[in-house]
Amino acid sequence: MKAIIIAIGGQTRLAARLAAELEATGHTVCIADGRDGPLRDAADALLLPAPAPDTLRNAAEWSIVCGAPDPAVHCAHARPLHCEIVADAFPPREVRVAWLTDAAPGDTRVLADATLAFGAALNGADLADEIAACAVDLMHEVASGIARELSDPNDAPRATPPGPADIVLDLERLAGWHASNDTAVAWPCEPSLPELVSRAAAAAPDACALVAADGQLTYRELVARARQVAARIAARPAAPRVVAVRLDKGVALYPAIVGVLGAGATCVPLDPAFPPERARTILRESGAQALVVSGAVEPALLDGFDLDVIDCVAHAEADAHASPDALAGQWPLERDADRAARCAVAIYTSGSTGVPKGVMLSHRNIVQFCHWYRAHVSLDASSRVLQFSTVAFDASLLDMFPTWLAGATLVAPSEAQRRELDALATLVADARITHAFLPPALLAALPDCDWPALAHLVTGGDVCDPDTIARWSANRRLHNIYGPTECTVLATTGELRAGDSNRRIGRPIANARCHVLAADGRPALTGEEGELCIAGAGVGLGYLGRPDLSAERFVADPYGTPGATMYRTGDIASWEPDGTLRYVGRRDTQLKIRGFRVEPGEIETAALAAGLYRQCAVVPDERKRIRLFAAKPVDAAATPDALRAVLAATLPDYMVPYDITTLDVLPATPNGKIDRAALARLPVSRAGSDTRDAPRGALEMRLAEMWATLLELAPDEIGRDASFFELGGHSLLVSRLMLAVKRELGGNAALARFMERPTIAALAALLTDESGERGANVPARVHDDRRLPDDVRLPADQPAGDGPGAVLLTGANGFLGSFILSELISRTNQIVYCVVRGDDDASARRRLDEAAFVNGLGHLCGHPRVRVLRGDLGAPRLGLSDAVWQTLAAEVGAIHHNGAHVNHVYDYPYLHAENVGSTLELLRLCCSGRRKALHFVSTLSAASATGPTGRLIEAAPSEAGPAFVNNGYNLTKWVSEHLVAEAAARGIDTTILRPGNITGHSRTGLCQPGRNRILLLLKGAVQLGCAPLASEGGLFDLSPVDYLARAIVACTLDGARTEHVFHLHNPRPLDWAGYLRALARRGYPLRFEAPEVWRERLLSIDESNALFDVVAFYLDDRQDDIGDMAVIDHARTEATLRRLGVTYPDKDDALLDAHFGYLAECGFMPPPPEPAPRANDARRDAEPEPAW
């Protein structure tokens, strides 16, 4: 098959996808578009010029344009290919996808086509993705036919033009559609809020409009007083455009707000409880020209401001006899024909910089919201609505104007009633409140109340705990609302009942649309997380006086009418299969802990689900350590230790809180939200510190001081039994710790023994007890974890499945994993699902492509049979959704479990979730859906079974621990081997594959030297000019990565396989001394020294030496590192590989030239004085990230 040159234009995602796919299959892609957009992004990722040079475009044989072409770029000789997508309706139920070309003008031919049928769809992004995948598959068919010259395109069938009832589908438009966004409703809206109120007053002037602690107002009185305020403002020589209102809740406040609006000014509500400096900041930022108050104002508030102060109390006498017609008369605002678009209020919210920002909402924004809300919660003239929130908070708009639109009564509590739970409960009961908005933190703190009149309880602004949902949804409707102030109070709502997820935020309200956009800007698939963006009638006007910030957050709506605006919330959400939205958390509160993305809300949900405390909040400290605050214990069994135990059993270790602090009740802001800033100011308590053992004796106390310095903690925060890693340590700090111990104390502690139990007590014991027997400190849970749970069993009727099925591969973006993926693609025809970590689906895909690219496997980038699944090895079901898990259960026939957190320093508990937990999850997957085989990639370091002569044999793991090193990593592999072996005994088809020392590619030498401890030893020795002497004759392993991948896949695909354990190292002869002599022959002379002399040299190295961060492995003379491979049996593996045609690479000059040459080429080692010339692949210079 010849490669063809295909030009691609059009800035659409289909064009980008085609470019990546065709490039990956070996065709030459030239970009015929120079504009910005998805195709340009794809070109950048593929390192293709955009647009391509004229010479390449003129050589293009075929051209594809998806979307509008770039008029500035032409392909002179290319024959056009056109993708026609025709649907029966929008949204489509049936779609025909066809690739067309013109044989002659007016003579269009069909080169390939297919028809797709859809059921009742909700998410257009899902449909567009499936249609695009079909178009790509058809293009592969077309390109293959052209390349093989199988037929003349001019002989293809003639195309039939779309019929009058057909719709030519735009995939970009379809992707932006979601059924839950079909919310358009036409309300008979008033042009402004004052007109809304006065019409209600005209309809029932003597109805009660307001009940407050200081009196009541009828609608007649409310409007009359408001008119007085409006008249006074409008009568000013220069009518103020921005007027602040600073009044306590009462009969003066609400007429003042309506009056300011009626005067045509923007109302800026100020809470009298605001600290003076915040009030002054808002006055300054808003540019307020007038301030409505009651009585005298403290001089400090007005100092430096030229404000027109309006005392509304001095002129509060209302015209109690005003006629209904007069009440319906004109406001000054009504002189403006476009008053609906005018800014009505500016609500100030806290800014990330600490400076409040004023959200501008128009009359149109609020009026349309009022009409929807009145209908949604069934407000009528008999309703009595609690106005709990301060008027400086946007939720007050939810209470006030919808109530008056309905002619209902607004009940305003006093400040004392807002603050005292009993007083508030009494008010709700005595005032016969039917509707109330109360924030989650307040509902959690309130005792059970008998409020028979309360029919609709609304909550939002924070996450409700399950207990609150259960208590307050009984006997009434509990509405969970979501929405930023910028979108007029709320944008989505859903009703909560006992047992509902507290992360569900419902569907968009009338005339609102929600778009979940992935990191690359495309609409997210169902279940895929992305930023929640809101469009529609509720989107505000921007930030008052902040055009820069407005332009950043209020952006063009790509799915709305021209000129429409969309608000970027910064919240992360996802569409659920039922069309509701799931709230994940804030993008700006996500943390990176030990390289993992952590969402504090996920920890809070797990803490609440434990059922021990009714209130939980997670707040990171300044070092990004996780602190959890818990309040309102359910019973006496609720303790910090009990909660920590539950979280340790349900969350990955990196998500378990560093500190748990208990309080009587969590602090709340004036708006009723949990006050996280106040929590952050609380001192660390280190739950359980009163019972934690302090270091004992001079040695332990000195060690605690050393730990405190490294971990930036106070010595009294470190207990003798606290894990180094739980306290915030990591692998690099371990080496610095052991180096410091050796330098300052002269002690000799074996790193492997310390890793068994990384505590002060254990380290002190190792320093005073020279025996340090292997396994003495292995945690008891290691042995418990070897037992496979009883529920991991094959069902009696598990179907075999049709054909071999798809392949599931973990660790595909690691060094070995990339080559395993390449072997699976080249040796099978199956789809390969790859679980890859990422912040979103796009970043997971990029992560895999980048790993393939830098490992010289560019053909894997965007390969049509490689399907990327964003997941997390440390999470239940690998972090995959239920739908994806069920798909894997049904489709996968073989699992290659190669992924792991590879780190030889971290302890067993730290690595358990990702390494052992993932193995257990995959064994559970083997027991669901079709029959599957699990191929577990372990390590020779974990081998444990020995034969009569003491050699390590090719057998299942023994009761003894790993024969080499009992570090955390090897223990997790050993435990996982036990689980796999027990699964095999229960009938699951399993294989254990134990690779040795993974080295560079056999031909190119390509490797990841910065992540290989042996190579760091090699470079460090070169930098020192000397290396430790080792006994001659032992086997030094060099197993090229391509050989290992080929051997692994060959063994697992072997239909005649009878063996189930394979030792995959390279038994060809070469010892350590011979390896270093080969290095010396290439220009790197080294002096050999006795090991104890060489170790003394290590005490003087610093960060400039490659050994510095791994020095702990080499400070002790009792390290049980992999050394002599000659003690490892491999006869059965060798026989299998010989039968399969896989041979061991010779450790000859060609292999060593490739190996040492690449280390110099990539810059890892300085070039030798006379390097031998060899090929260089520039793509190898980048270093990929580890697999997990």
| % residues pLDDT > 70 (the chain) | 90
Domain finish residue from 762, 777, 792: 777
Q: Is 8 left (phi over 0), alpha (psi -120 to 50) or beta?
A: beta
Residues 407/204, Cβ–Cβ less than 8 Å? yes
Q: Are 778 and 971 in contact (CB under 8 A)?
A: yes
User: Do 203 and 146 fall into the same domain?
Assistant: no
Q: What is the mean pLDDT of residues 774-793?
A: 80
Residue 548 lies in a domain: no
Split at pLDDT 50, 70, 90, the class of 983 is very high
- Within a domain: residue 896? yes
What percent helix, strand, coil does the chain show, rounded to 5? 35, 20, 45
Q: Which residue has the higher pLDDT, 904 or 407?
A: 407
Residue 797 pLDDT level (bands cut at 50, 70, 90): confident
Looking at the DSSP bridge assignments, the partners of residue 167 are: 87
Q: pLDDT band for position 1184 (50/70/90)?
A: very low
Helices 253-262, 219-234: axis angle to 10 degrees equals 50
Picking from 478, 508, 538, the residue at the C-terminal end of a domain is 508
- What pLDDT, on a 0 to 100 scale, did the predictor assign at position 1183? 30
Mean pLDDT of 735-739: 79
What pLDDT was estimated at residue 752? Answer: 63
More confident residue, 465 or 254: 254
Whole-number Å distance between alpha carbons of 101 and 153:
8
HEC profile for 23-72?
HHCCCEEEECCCCCCHHHHHHHHCCCCCCCCHHHHHHCCEEEECCCCCCC
Is 1095 contained in some domain?
no
Per-residue pLDDT at 1181 exceeds 60: no
DSSP annotation of 385 reads E
Examine the pLDDT at 592 and tell me if it is beyond 70: no
Asked whether the predicted pLDDT for residue 774 surpasses 70, the reply is no
Per the listing, tokens 């923007």 go with: 266
Q: Are residues 665 and 722 in the same domain?
A: no
Stretch 668-694: mean pLDDT: 70
Cβ partners under 8 Å of residue 683, min gap 6: none
CA–CA distances in Å: residue 60 to residues 3, 31, 64: 11, 10, 11
Q: How far apart are CA 248 and CA 858, in angstroms?
A: 67
Q: Give the whole-angstrom CA distance, residue 1151 versus residue 1069.
A: 13
Residues 6+ apart with CB under 8 A from 419: none
For 17, the token pair is 């996808």
pLDDT for 327 equals 66
What pLDDT does residue 481 have? Answer: 96
**314 pLDDT above the threshold of 80:** no
Measured distance CA(951)–CA(1127) in Å, rounded: 5
**Per-residue pLDDT tens digits for 375-385:** 999 999 999 99
Residues sharing a CB contact under 8 Å with residue 160, sequence separation 6 or more, in sequence order: none
DSSP 8-state symbol, 913: I
Pick from 2-11, 918-927, 1089-1098 the range whose average pLDDT is largest: 918-927
Q: What is the pLDDT of residue 1168?
A: 67
Residue pLDDT, tens place only, 143-177: 888 887 777 888 899 999 999 999 999 999 999 99
pLDDT tens per residue across span 13-27:
999 999 988 887 778
For position 1147, which CATH number holds? 3.40.50.720
Could you tell me the two tokens for 914?
């990702």
Residue 553 has pLDDT above 90, yes or no: yes
687: pLDDT strictly greater than 60: no
Which stretch of DSSP H or E encloses residue 295? none
Indicate if 333 and 199 belong to the same structural domain: yes
- 871 shares a domain with 981: yes
pLDDT in tens, 603-618: 888 898 888 998 999 9
- Alpha-carbon gap, residue 1146 to 1129, rounded angstroms: 18
Selection from 266, 244, 258, 255 nearest residue 310 by Cα: 244
* Confidence (pLDDT) at 1120: 44
Burial 296-335 (b: 16+ CB within 10 A, else e): eeeeebeeeeebbebbbeeebebeeebeeebbbeebbbbe
Tell me what the mean pLDDT of segment 302-330 comes to: 70
Is position 835 within any domain? yes
Q: Once rounded to an integer, what is the mean pLDDT over residues 211-226? A: 96
User: Is pLDDT of 853 > 60?
Assistant: yes
> Taking the mean position of all CA atoms in its chain, how far away is CA 932?
30
Res. 691: pLDDT tops 90:
no
SS3 370: helix
pLDDT at residue 153, as a whole number:
86
Percent of the chain with pLDDT over 90: 51
CA distance 153 to 145: 9
The first and second tokens of residue 710, run together, are 């490294």
Q: How far apart are CA 219 and CA 9, in angstroms?
A: 64
8 Å CB contact between 1023 and 1087: no
pLDDT beyond 60 at 505: yes
Confidence of residue 721 (pLDDT cuts 50, 70, 90): confident
Best CA proximity match to 342, nearest among 546, 565, 555, 540: 540
Q: CA quadruple 667, 670, 674, 678: dihedral positive or negative?
A: negative
User: Across the chain, what does the average pLDDT equal?
Assistant: 87
- Residue 738 identity (one-letter amino acid): M
DSSP annotation string for 592-650: EETTEEE-HHHHHHHHHHTTSEEEEEEEE-TT--EEEEEEEESSTT--HHHHHHHHHHH
The more confident residue out of 67 and 183 is: 183
Across 254-279, b (16+ Cβ under 10 Å) vs e yields bbbbbbbbbbbbbbbbbbeebeeebb
Query: Quick one: 819 and 877 in the same domain?
Result: yes
Closest to 359 (Cα-Cα) out of 546, 528, 219: 546
Asked if the bond preceding 909 is cis, omega within 30° of 0, the reply is no
Highest mean pLDDT among 40-49, 485-494, 764-773, 1080-1089 belongs to 485-494
Torsion sign over Cα 124, 129, 134, 135: positive
C-alpha to C-alpha distance for 553 and 101, rounded to whole angstroms: 43
Q: How many whole angstroms separate alpha carbon 985 and alpha carbon 979?
A: 10
Q: Kindly give the residue spans of alpha helices, DSSP state H, lying in 746-861.
A: 751-756, 760-768, 780-785, 815-827, 841-854
Are the C-beta atoms of 1088 and 1069 separated by less than 8 Å? no
Residue 732 — pLDDT band, cuts 50, 70, 90?
low
Is the domain of 397 the same as that of 431?
Answer: yes
User: In terms of residue numbers, what domain contains 760?
Assistant: 697-777
The tens digit of pLDDT for each residue in 989-998 reads 999 999 988 9
CATH number of the CATH domain containing 138: 3.40.50.170
Residues 170 and 197 in one domain: no
Residues 704, 908: Cα–Cα separation, whole Å: 22
Tell me, yes or no, whether 690 lies in a domain.
no
Q: Report the relative pairing of strands 343-349 and 384-386 from DSSP bridges.
A: unpaired
96 and 86 Cβ atoms separated by less than 8 Å: yes
Q: Check which CATH number belongs to the domain holding 708 and give it.
A: 1.10.1200.10
- Asked whether residue 709 carries a pLDDT value surpassing 60, the answer given is yes
Output the furthest CA–CA distance in the chain (Å, rounded). Answer: 112
Q: Is residue 785 part of a domain?
A: no
Residue 1005: phi and psi, rounded to 5, are: 80, 0
- 1044-1055 burial by CB neighbour count: b if 16+ within 10 A, else e? bbbbbbbbbbee
Beta strand residue intervals within 1065-1130, DSSP E = 1087-1089
Q: Tell me the mean pLDDT in the region 749-766.
A: 78
Q: How many domains does the chain have?
A: 5
**Phi/psi at 460 (5° precision):** 165, 180
- DSSP symbol at 942: G
Same domain? 69 vs 207: no
In-domain check, residue 532 = no
pLDDT confidence tier of residue 1121, bands split at 50, 70 and 90: very low
Q: Are residues 727 and 608 in the same domain?
A: no
Q: How confident is the model at residue 351 (pLDDT cuts 50, 70, 90)?
A: low
| The CA-based dihedral angle spanning residues 1026, 1029, 1032, 1037, taken in that order and rounded to the nearest 10 degrees | -70
Burial 670-680 (b: 16+ CB within 10 A, else e): bbbbbbbeebe
Considering the domain architecture, whether residues 154 and 107 belong to the same structural domain is answered as yes
Q: Within a domain: residue 686?
A: no
Does residue 1122 carry a pLDDT above 60?
no
pLDDT reading at 234 higher than 60: yes
Q: Do 885 and 910 share a domain, yes or no?
A: yes
In 10 A of CB 78, how many CB atoms? 21
Side chain identity, residue 926: C
Show which of 142, 177, 212 is a domain's final residue: 177
Contact between 764 and 1121 under an 8 Å Cβ cutoff? The reply is no
User: 840 and 719 share a domain?
Assistant: no
From CA 537, how far away is CA 330, in angstroms rounded? 26
Q: Cα–Cα distance between 912 and 874 in angstroms, integer?
A: 8
pLDDT band, residue 55 (cuts 50/70/90)? confident
Beta-carbon contacts of residue 96 (< 8 Å; ≥ 6 apart): 84, 85, 86, 87, 113, 114, 115, 116
pLDDT at residue number 652: 65
pLDDT digits (tens, 9 = 90+) for 58-95: 889 999 999 889 999 988 889 999 999 999 999 999 99
Region 510-516 average pLDDT: 98
